[in-house]
Chains A and B, each alone.
Chain A
Amino acid sequence: MSIVNEIIANYNYWITIFLMLSGLYIVVAKSNMIKTLLGLAVFQTSVYLLYLSPGKILGGTPPILEKGIEVYSNPLPHVLILTAIVVGVATLALGLALVVRINEAYGTIEEDEITAIVDREDHAE
């Protein structure tokens, strides 16, 4: 039973790992470019959790300077993840913009179809 207890006690890490692997799986398995980018977003989001959950202390308050507040959560991970979220949004926006342009140029967003076209162009060059 101890292993079950350990899994339940660290459930936040298991959620992180699950999100991480499912994001990575979507990136690898999907040919649709938008789905790939969404997988990438899920993968990045799992990292937010990886940073945030160790920073939270059970019973701790937000880190505010006031008398009587002794146990508080670490504010640094939150600040870092705010930055990481901005980076993630920028990446996703740029990726989607590229997919729009690729769709205009190729008429499809399926990566295997585009790869086939690119291969043909490589040989016809």
Chain B
Amino acid sequence: MSAEPLLLQDHLPALQVVVPLLGSVVVALLRQGPAAWVVTLVCAWSMPLIAFALLDQVMTNGTISYALGGWPREVSIEYRIDQANAFLLVLVSIMAALVTTYMPRSIADEIAPERQGWYYCMYLLCLCGLLGMAITGDAFNIFVFMEVSSLSMYGLIAMGRDRRAMVSAYQYLVLGTLGATFYVIGVGLLFTMTGTLNLYDMAGKLEAVENTRPLIAALAFIGVGIGLKLALFPLHLWLPNAYAFAPSAATAFIASTATKVAVYILLRIVFSVYGVNIAFGDTPAAAALLALAIMAMIAPSVVAIYQANVKRMLAYSSVAQIGYIMLGIALVSQTGLTGGISHLFNHALIKASLFLAVGCMVYSTGITRIEQMAGIGRTMPATMGAFVLAGLGLIGVPGTAGFVSKWFLITGAVEQGLWWLAAVIVFSSVLAMIYVGRVVEVAWFREPSGAAVSPRKPPLEMVVVTWVLALAVVYFGFDTDISAGVAGDAASLLLAGYR
């Protein structure tokens, strides 16, 4: 046996998952809130470093295949990183790093001291699960990481200070477990048909069993299961209350990452494993997805207009934005998919920024109802300024990130002659303008009253992180090389499939 030197850069894929996993154990042993936060911060900031290094390796050397434990691919779990998931790893880890920087005082304010250590422990586990889902190339390993992230997410949500948080965590647990189990049923059927769990090998063996019923059934099971996880309308029922009652920082993190990673899993299975021909040629999946996406863009937007709680309003808006991402998938074209993937990226920035601004407001005033926000723009201009900027991105005003992805989606729809679809996108944006505008009107054009008159000053780090994300929304509205460019590469990679 020759001992090969252990090079750090060869083992980055494993470190991406192992660091937060070990971090969560350390945090669980420490228990003390501040010390736990420092460990979390170190782990969280090491994530983007690793993710960028991986993205760099993928850009220069192509797809990375990392065999865990050095076993050959056929008998082990393979981590497989190409441009699509390297991009996602960067997104998730940057969000984690920023939200971790934001959260210590917000968490100290919302969670009892003896529970803060556990909060950070579950936060790191959730991060580990999400990164694991993104990085792994093994269908069953995806399920395991999915449950690692979901179980810790249920815990995070249940820690909200309102007692309704526990009920929403319970409802999410029931629906989330149903979703994960549906996914496992689908994977089980695929495994029986192909004899492998490695996504890459599975793709190669699918053609031999094309047009068999278990294959289509597996696609349906996986579609419904992941649909529950990513809150595809009408499977979104767990989402509004979970986002509304979770601790503010946890909401921002979950809203910007969890559903996005689930979307990636759907993309990976549908495009890379099944391939466009089987998934969309042999089944009416595209038509079904298109119908659901259109409903998702309209119905939750209308519901959002009538919400009294600002966090729940943003949550319903998230369901609508997932409709846009699904629309990009349903178009099954290079432009459409680029729009979908870049909207996945842009919406993560936008929604994180909005939820973080709301978190600042909750910290300073304790307000969550929109009508109580009267005049808060005048007493907290920095926080609400960021809210307005990100809100413009949500509407899709030109010059913001939201516009870029919606532009791709509209172009994609027009390419296929679906002019009416462009009208639907514009109509949904008008609805977004109404629900964002409603908050802006209350916050800026009314006299301050109640708790909004004299808010306590939000900590600097909270405002800074909120603004970093809000400015990123504007930045990516002008510089489309990174978001739309990488999204375009990822789209062509996915459309080509593994075969």
Contacts of A43 in B (CB 8 A): 178, 181
Contact A106 B163 (CB under 8 A): yes
Among the 9-residue stretches B91-99, B168-176, B426-434, the one with 4 or more Cβ atoms under 8 Å from chain A is B168-176
**What residue of chain B has the Cβ atom nearest to residue A77's Cβ?**
B191
Among the 9-residue stretches B147-155, B267-275, B282-290, B353-361, the one with 4 or more Cβ atoms under 8 Å from chain A is B147-155
B188 beta carbon closer than 8 Å to chain A: yes
- From A40, A84, A90, A102, give the contact of B166 (CB < 8 A): A102
The dominant DSSP class at the B interface is helix
Contacts of A7 in B (CB 8 A): none
Distance in Å from the Cβ of A90 to the closest Cβ of chain B?
Answer: 6
Size class of the A contact interface (CB-based, 8 Å): 35 or more
Contact B173 A87 (CB under 8 A): no
Q: Which of B164, B169, B181, B191 has the most CB of A within 10 A?
A: B181
Contacts of B192 in A (CB 8 A): 54
Within 8 A of B (CB), among A63-109: 76-77, 80, 83-84, 87, 90-91, 94-95, 98-99, 101-102, 105-106
Contacts of B219 in A (CB 8 A): none
Contact B167 A114 (CB under 8 A): yes
Measured in the bound complex, the distance between the Cα atoms of B192 and A83 in whole Å is 18
Contacts of B184 in A (CB 8 A): 47, 84
Contact A44 B181 (CB under 8 A): yes
Contacts of A106 in B (CB 8 A): 163, 167
Within 8 A of A (CB), among B137-159: 140, 143-144, 147, 151, 154-155, 158
**What residue of chain B has the Cβ atom nearest to residue A20's Cβ?**
B185
Measured in the bound complex, the distance between the Cα atoms of B125 and A94 in whole Å is 15
18 contacts between A and B (CB under 8 A): A27-B174, A50-B185, A51-B188, A76-B197, A77-B191, A83-B140, A84-B143, A87-B144, A91-B173, A91-B177, A95-B174, A95-B177, A101-B166, A102-B167, A105-B163, A114-B167, A118-B241, A122-B164
Write the B281-324 contact mask toward A (1 if CB under 8 angstroms, else 0).
00000000000000000000000000011000000000000000
A125 beta carbon closer than 8 Å to chain B: yes
Write the A28-51 contact mask toward B (1 if CB under 8 angstroms, else 0).
000001001100100110010011
Measured in the bound complex, the distance between the Cα atoms of B369 and A90 in whole Å is 35
The dominant DSSP class at the A interface is helix
Contact B177 A98 (CB under 8 A): no
Contact A91 B151 (CB under 8 A): yes
Distance in Å from the Cβ of B23 to the closest Cβ of chain A?
Answer: 20
Measured in the bound complex, the distance between the Cα atoms of B175 and A40 in whole Å is 10
Distance in Å from the Cβ of A38 to the closest Cβ of chain B?
Answer: 12
A121 beta carbon closer than 8 Å to chain B: yes
Distance in Å from the Cβ of B224 to the closest Cβ of chain A?
Answer: 12
Contact A102 B170 (CB under 8 A): yes
Contact B177 A90 (CB under 8 A): no
Within 8 A of A (CB), among B184-224: 184-185, 188, 191-192, 197
Given contacts A50-B188, A94-B151, A121-B164, is CB(A40)–CB(B369) below 8 Å? no
Contacts of B480 in A (CB 8 A): none
Distance in Å from the Cβ of A94 to the closest Cβ of chain B?
Answer: 6
Measured in the bound complex, the distance between the Cα atoms of B170 and A33 in whole Å is 9
Q: Which of A43, A83, A118 has the most CB of B within 10 A?
A: A118
- From B163, B173, B241, B369, give the contact of A95 (CB < 8 A): B173
Contacts of A36 in B (CB 8 A): 174
Contacts of B180 in A (CB 8 A): 87
Contact B167 A91 (CB under 8 A): no
Contact A95 B170 (CB under 8 A): yes
Measured in the bound complex, the distance between the Cα atoms of B163 and A105 in whole Å is 7
Given contacts A33-B170, A47-B188, is CB(A94)–CB(B181) below 8 Å? no
Measured in the bound complex, the distance between the Cα atoms of B178 and A20 in whole Å is 11
Distance in Å from the Cβ of A43 to the closest Cβ of chain B?
Answer: 6
Contact B158 A40 (CB under 8 A): no
B46 beta carbon closer than 8 Å to chain A: no
Contact B166 A98 (CB under 8 A): yes
